[in-house]
Each structure stands twice: as structure tokens, then as C-alpha cells.
Amino acid sequence: MQSILCFFFPATMTVVIGFEGSANKIGVGIIRDGEVLSNPRRTYITPPGQGFMPSDTARHHRAVILTVLKEALEEAGLKPADIDCVAYTKGPGMGAPLVTVAIVARTVAQLWGKPLLGVNHCIGHIEMGRLITKASNPTVLYVSGGNTQVIAYSERRYRIFGETIDIAVGNCLDRFARVIKISNDPSPGYNIEQMAKTGTQYVELPYTVKGMDVSFSGILSYIEEAANKMLSSGQCTAADLCFSLQETVFAMLVEITERAMAHCSSQEVLIVGGVGCNLRLQEMMGVMCEERGAKLFATDDRFCIDNGAMIAQAGWEMFQSGQVTELEDSWITQRYRTDEVEVTWRD
């Protein structure tokens, strides 16, 4: 009976296109009811020893965004008319790249006559992680170049249980990579992870957990100085420093995640954000989870690293729950906390 009804009244599928460009990645992804139809992305890669500046990053995004958008539509085999909603990153992130991406999203939404939806970038990571891993109500560790937060859902908010009090863990890794001139291709964190595998000597670094929060700026200053002294005198190798830095900062992250789980009686951990594809972090988190009888959920680089589909997925949830963003309210914001968003799509 049901199949006959479906034949006569096919359930309409909702298609959302998502634009992401809050940092050095620019991505456009298309989601149709939980299915990723396309998710192309480009990364602005700077020479070793250099970070990415807002205006240069925005220039990169401007140069490629329309090509990436075209790819997303072609790969999905869709026409603009098939799209139901245009989602874009409202914040947090770098101002100039955010504006660039928002302008294209606003323009296509008007050209195609579709509603617009501004999405919190952190919520995008969480919802994409939940979609891909099927974790139902996990404690979330969100770790990237710009953010470090331990999050759990309660009463219509993703609440921040612990976070960095200065720089993000990924920023600490990226800046250490610059000091010892590690390549930024495909990402500094990936190259640190590979080098760390050959490290043999553990160099003791400050361990800075402050209650539920963490601090990384002191560790960075310390290891910068250690690198200058110890590498020139041959006391340790660059690989040893990569290894020691990873072990120290990941142990801190596992500690605060475990404490948040204890507070919430949670039996699931989900790791999201660019640093989340680091296999050593996943391994250490896995050991902690096993000891507690909990389950670890993680994704690979396609969905951990910033991408358009994650904005489409969070946008899909928001759109289904009745939200849209009027054009005049579609301004971007560099600061936009995870817990500012009312989660209208979960019980």
C-alpha cells in the first residue's frame, strides 16, 4: 500500500547547496536529504614559513569560487531549478573571505529565486559529523585551525563545556610548522603528523589544561624556543619535536573530552574539524573511549576539513525546521559562538 502511495504522491526531496569559505578552503557542496551529491573544494596554499592573510585568501576565493560552483552543479547533475535553498557560512571566520562567499551566495539565491540561509560554521562541522558517522548524541571535540571546543547538546543548544583560552590547537600546529619551515601542502598539520611518525625522543613540553579549558600559546612559545636551541645543537630532531607536540596537545584534548563525557554521562565521542582527521589524535581518543566503554566517531579529510557539504547539511536541518535568512539580515560575522545558535531541529 505504501509503495503505491509513494508512486502517486512522491515525497519531495529537499536539495540544499552550501557555500563555505571562512578560512583558506573554498568549497561548494550539494546535499539531498542526507546524501552528498557533490562537494568540490580548493585550498589556498602558502609557501613554507607563511600563514594565509585575509585579503590574499579572499582574492584566492574570488578567483575560483565560480568554477567550484559550476563543478558542484555538474557533479551533482543538477540545474539551479532543482535547488531548494542556498546556505552559506555566516561566521565565525576571517572577514574578507566570508564576505566574498556570502556575496556569491546572495547573488545566486536572487538569480535563482531561492531562499537564503546563514549557517554557523561550527554547527556545520557538528551536523556533518553526525550525518556521516550516524552518532546520535555525541560529546563533540571540535578541533581546527581556528577553533578548539568540547561541545555537548542540551536543551536546544550545542553547549561549550571547554575551549581554548587563547589560540586554537590547529593554529599552534600550523605556526610551529612555519617555525621549522614544514610545507603547507596539503596542510601543515598533515605534514607534522607524517614527520611525527619517525620521532623517537619525547621532549617535555608544558601541559596546560585549566579545568575544562586548554591553552596552547605558551606551548607554542616554548617549542619555538626549544626548536631554535635544540635543533641547532643537535639535541633532538624536527621529527622529535613534531612527535612531542602532538603527544602533548592531543593528551590535553583527550583529557578535557573525557571530563566532559563524565559530566554528561555520555558514551559517544565525535571528533570534527580539520585537526580531527589526524589519525594519532583518533588513536589516543580511541584508547580513552575503550577504557570507558564508549564509542568513538570520526570522519576522514573529505568531511573533517572545511567543505561546502557541511554548510549544506546544517542548512538542510535549519531549512527543514522552517528557518530562512532575509537578504538584509545576511551580514557575515567574524565572531559567532556555537552556543549562540538555537538548535530548532533537535529535541
CB closer to another protein out of 68 and 253: 68
Residue 275 annotated as lining a ligand binding site: no
Residue 263 annotated as lining a ligand binding site: no
Least separation in angstroms between residue 333's CB and another protein is: 10
Q: Are 26 and 68 in contact (CB under 8 A)?
A: yes
Residue 86 annotated as lining a ligand binding site: no
Least separation in angstroms between residue 175's CB and another protein is: 27
Nearest to 269 by CA among 158, 127, 123, 133: 133
Residue 35 annotated as lining a ligand binding site: no
Q: How many CA atoms lie within 13 Å of 100's alpha carbon, on the beta-carbon side?
A: 26
CB closer to another protein out of 108 and 270: 108
Q: Residue 157: in which H helix or E strand, if any? A: strand 157-163
* Spatial distance between the Cα atoms of 212 and 60, rounded to a whole number of angstroms: 37
Least separation in angstroms between residue 47's CB and another protein is: 23
Least separation in angstroms between residue 86's CB and another protein is: 11
Least separation in angstroms between residue 312's CB and another protein is: 17
Q: Please report where in the chains the cell 536541518 appears, as a residue.
A: 317
> Nearest 5°: CA angle at 135, between 129 and 136?
120
φ/ψ of residue 78, rounded to 5: -120, 155
Residues that bind another protein (CB under 8 A): 58-59, 62, 65-66, 69-70, 80, 96, 99-100, 102-104, 106-108, 110-112, 327-332
CB closer to another protein out of 25 and 125: 25
Residue 340 annotated as lining a ligand binding site: no
CB closer to another protein out of 325 and 338: 325
φ/ψ of residue 323, rounded to 5: -90, 145
Residue 291 annotated as lining a ligand binding site: no
Least separation in angstroms between residue 69's CB and another protein is: 7
Q: Please report where in the chains the cell 530548532 appears, as a residue.
A: 344
CA end-to-end span of the chain, whole Å?
31
With a CB cutoff of 8 Å and minimum separation 6, the contacts of 295 are: 135, 267, 268, 269, 289
What are the beta bridge partners of residue 16?
A: 31, 85
Residue 71 annotated as lining a ligand binding site: no
CB closer to another protein out of 106 and 302: 106
Residues annotated in the binding site, as ranges? 121, 125, 142-146, 174, 189, 193, 278, 306
Residue numbers belonging to the annotated binding site for substrate: 142-146, 174, 189, 193, 278
**Which residues are known binding-site members for a divalent metal cation?**
121, 125, 142, 306
